[in-house]
């Protein structure tokens, strides 16, 4: 292998913190992972995490990162907003109209890591390794 070659590919997209940007991030995710069996799950994860960043924080933007290695895909969404709440997966209330996004992410991913920063949050979802690699 050439010394400048990597077994990991990384893409990043910075989106303004507006609701219409979530659909752009979802399309971008599908384009980046075109032909990958994990593309639909990754697009749903980006949609849920991007929506949380726009809805629950005062962040002027959110960043989506996709890391693809031989057998794994990791989706990371970060915001820079202040929020009185922190992302926390909970079991959704059947009657509730909110609270399903992070729960869905935890169901799709093999592992979810939530990091709270002084200014913002980062949620990383590692897609199940038993899914066929892309």
Residue 95 has pLDDT above 70, yes or no: no
d(CA 54, CA 21): 9
Instruction: Identify which has the larger pLDDT, 94 or 31.
Output: 31
Cβ pair 49, 125 in contact under 8 A = yes
Q: What's residue 41's pLDDT? A: 94
Question: Does the pLDDT value for residue 133 go beyond 80?
Answer: no
Predicted confidence at residue 4, as pLDDT, reads 66
Answering whether pTM is above 0.85, one says: no
pLDDT of residue 85 exceeding 70, the answer is no
Q: What is the mean pLDDT of the chain?
A: 84
pLDDT score for 129: 60
pLDDT at 82 over 90: no
Q: Which residues contact 29 (CB under 8 A, 6 or more apart)?
A: 39, 42, 43, 46, 64, 66, 75
CA-nearest of 114, 103, 108 to 130 is 108
Q: Which residue has the tokens 């752009």?
A: 24
């Amino acid at each position: 292998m050439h010394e400048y070659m990597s077994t990991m590919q990384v893409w990043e997209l910075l989106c303004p913190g507006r609701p219409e940007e979530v659909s752009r991030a979802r399309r971008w995710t599908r384009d980046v992972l075109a032909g990958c069996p994990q593309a639909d799950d990754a697009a749903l994860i980006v949609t849920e995490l991007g929506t949380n960043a726009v809805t629950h924080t005062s962040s002027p933007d959110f960043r989506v990162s996709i890391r693809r290695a031989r057998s794994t895909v990791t989706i990371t969404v970060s915001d820079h907003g202040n929020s009185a709440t922190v992302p926390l997966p909970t079991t959704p209330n059947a009657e509730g109209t909110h609270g399903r996004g992070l729960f869905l992410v935890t169901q799709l991913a093999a592992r979810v890591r939530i990091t709270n920063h002084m200014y913002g949050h980062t949620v990383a979802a590692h897609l199940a390794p038993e899914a066929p690699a892309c």
